[in-house]
Structure 1
Amino acid sequence: MELPQSPLDLLSLDLPQGEPWGYALAQALLKAPWAWRALRPTPGLLDLIRLDLEEAFLRLQERRASFPLGSLGERPPTPAEEEALEALLARDPEALVRVLRAHGPWPFALYRAFRFDGALRPLPHPRLPKEGELLGYEGQLKALRENAERFLSGRPALHTLLYGARGTGKSTAAKSLLHLPEARMVEVEKGALFRLEELLERLSLLPHRFFLFLDDLSLDPEDEAFHHLKALLEGSLEGPPENVLLLATSNRRHLVRRLGENPLPGEAPEAWDALQEELALAERFGLVLTFPPFDKALFLRAVAHHLGRPLTQEEEAEALRFALSRGFSGRAARQFAQSC
């Protein structure tokens, strides 16, 4: 287990408000090599944790005496950090196991947003949309939120596909779910889809519930990643763990780059089989929400919303000229408002 040795070691840590040595060592316990095994501890593992707690407690006393420091953090401590520090001060391995089972190991104990590009990286300060930022899609947002709330409460929920024109707010709608209490989200890069099973195996051990966010999804049926995702949604014996809900956005209804025209009646069965393979992935999402393009009236309404005031006739004309090369969309409306 790596423990901070000098004050300089603390500067790279995301520490909360309060005495830094205690929280630094508490974080080290959440990162310990045995932290994942502690989710299902054995008697021998408890003995190992007890030894590490004793060592960490001695190091804490030494660091506090040798390098007395004031607070280095600005945020409040998380419940996991507070409880891990209490377990450290009490040198209680059972208490530390309870902390890990309630909050998970680092980084899941501290953060709610992550990016997976083959390795998992926490996002301490994710850029979230403002509440009420999207206009014109109230029905879609209501259905999205209700499904998400069912999932977070442990009730049955549906994997969700948001599709429609560019700039209509699909990604914004998906990210807005992080405003919900207890929500956690992992954004998966396209190049990491082939490692989804590895990620899901780890998430399945945790007490949290995760939205797995696949943004701007468009796959080729000949790509191995296509088959990984299709099998994951329902086509394999394992499937996603019950604490993970898939959330995808796409500009294509069928998620795939079409490889040709629809087969004509009477053509060989192989041609229809290829088409059905293309359509199969989208059909595995139980909830499909459409985000159609803006019309002129909704575009002008969105511009006024972003400006926080009604538009003058001159501004309406300028906004419409602005949209000529960009199209009517929520993104174009926001860009015009920012240029005013």
Structure 2
Amino acid sequence: MGGMVRVPENPEALLPLDLPEGEPWGYAFAQALLRSPWAFRALKPTPGLLDLIRWDLDRLHRELEARRRTWPLGALGLRPPHPAEEALLQALLRRDPEGVVEALRAHGPWPFALYRAFRFDGEVHPLRALRLPRRDELVGYEAQREALEANARRFLSGKPALHTLLYGARGTGKSTAAKSLLHLEGARMVEVEKGALPRLGALLEQLASLPHRYLLFLDDLSLDPEDEAFHHLKALLEGSLEGPPENVLLLATSNRRHLVRRLGENPLPGEAPEAWDALQDTLALSERFGLVLTFPPLDKALYLKAVAHHLGRSLTPEEEGRALRFALERGFSGRVARQFAQTLL
């Protein structure tokens, strides 16, 4: 198929697309413009690129009219159109390259224009159906949540904010607290898989060109100097001339046992030089996070309070005994409290 922008050729090609309510051909072509090979370049267009966009728009306009005549279709989607889809469809109908550029500058290319949460495994994948924890789900960590949200709000409003490390035992709610930030207005998040850290630079280059601000979420991070991920993160935080772009805030969680490498007793300077250097590297990296929030295990009273919170009612004495026995081998944590509450629902 000729041309740079690829568009659906028949009705079957529309079926895999996440289309909004309304005439599907126009929105499918608008999404094709979001996916175009020149979409990121259009954020800083040159005269030659505008000519290229104009040629593509002329071709796409003819093809759109042909599709509509050959296969007149009713709506295929149920959601309302996104402003980016509306703006690009209107620019296509007007054959207006400046309108295309304006829409891309306002909303970004695909998938960033249409979604606000993503997974990065070397490539960016939009998360279309979010299952977010309730904002009040965590019991016993209200101070940590408030500090985390206050810092994120500063970032989202364009003010200086601190890269954040959440650390503590498993099941204490670190990941829940991080994901809950997506409840904040304007919040967007990219969750980075551990194996994708070597390609983090390419992702940051993309994000830096976009009009929005992004929380970069690294879950269950090991801060062990022998871990390959440690060196990629170290270069990002302290060894790069550029550092993270201004519109990206790092948000990492780490288990307490991962925070400082197990070295036996803490080595002293001059004794076991390699162990001492490794310890200093780990501590230096953790200090690069300007905001460090600790999530300690719950005590007995808070654990029972968390169970009652998840149930939405008080516990009977018999249920309290069962809850404590349930936690006997699992420990007191928010995760265990939620699991036990589910056995009573």
State the TM-score, normalizing by the size of structure 2. Answer: 0.95
| Distance of 1:255 and 1:56 partners within structure 2 | 54
* Greater Cα offset, 19-28 or 228-237: 228-237
1:207-257 Cα offsets, whole Å, 9 max, x none, are 110000000011431333312201211332110000000000011276353
* Greater Cα offset, 165-174 or 251-260: 251-260
| Distance of 1:256 and 1:232 partners within structure 2 | 19
Match 1:46 to one of 40, 43, 50: 50
In the TM superposition, 1:228-267 aligns within 5 A as 228-252=232-256, 255-264=259-268, 267=271
1:266-295 Cα offsets, whole Å, 9 max, x none, are 526554323211212111100000111011
Cα distance change of structure 1 residues 338 and 100 upon mapping to structure 2, 3 Å threshold: same
| Distance of 2:302 and 2:284 partners within structure 1 | 34
In the other structure, the counterpart of 1:300 is 304
Contact 1:78 1:110 in 2 (8 A): yes
In the other structure, the counterpart of 2:8 is 4
| Distance of 2:264 and 2:236 partners within structure 1 | 26
Contact 2:223 2:258 in 1 (8 A): no
Aligned-pair CA distance for 1:60: 1.3
Contact 1:218 1:257 in 2 (8 A): no
Contact 2:222 2:229 in 1 (8 A): no
Cα distance change of structure 1 residues 265 and 15 upon mapping to structure 2, 3 Å threshold: closer
Cα distance change of structure 1 residues 335 and 224 upon mapping to structure 2, 3 Å threshold: closer
What RMSD over aligned residues (CA atoms) do the two structures have, in Å? 1.4
* Greater Cα offset, 1-10 or 213-222: 213-222
| Distance of 2:127 and 2:330 partners within structure 1 | 31
Match 1:313 to one of 317, 320, 324: 317
Counterpart AA for 1:81:
E
Counterpart AA for 1:53:
L
5+ residue gaps, structure 1, are: none
Counterpart AA for 1:158:
L
Count of aligned pairs between the two proteins: 340
In the other structure, the counterpart of 1:183 is 187
SS of residue in 2 equivalent to 1:324:
coil
Contact 1:254 1:282 in 2 (8 A): no
In the other structure, the counterpart of 1:161 is 165
| Distance of 1:222 and 1:147 partners within structure 2 | 31
| Distance of 1:53 and 1:273 partners within structure 2 | 59
Contact 1:221 1:256 in 2 (8 A): no
In the other structure, the counterpart of 2:125 is 121
Aligned-pair CA distance for 1:264: 3.6
In the other structure, the counterpart of 2:86 is 82
Aligned-pair CA distance for 1:260: 4.0
Match 1:279 to one of 274, 280, 283: 283
Match 1:209 to one of 208, 213, 236: 213
In the other structure, the counterpart of 2:155 is 151
Counterpart AA for 1:200:
L
| Distance of 1:49 and 1:20 partners within structure 2 | 22
Counterpart AA for 1:189:
E
| Distance of 2:270 and 2:225 partners within structure 1 | 23
In the other structure, the counterpart of 1:71 is 75
5+ residue gaps, structure 2, are: none
1:196 equivalent in alignment to 2:164: no
Aligned-pair CA distance for 1:80: 0.6
In the TM superposition, 1:131-150 aligns within 5 A as 131-150=135-154
| Distance of 2:269 and 2:32 partners within structure 1 | 65
Counterpart AA for 1:293:
P
Runs of 4+ in 1 over 3 A off after TM superposition: 268-271
Aligned-pair CA distance for 1:54: 1.2
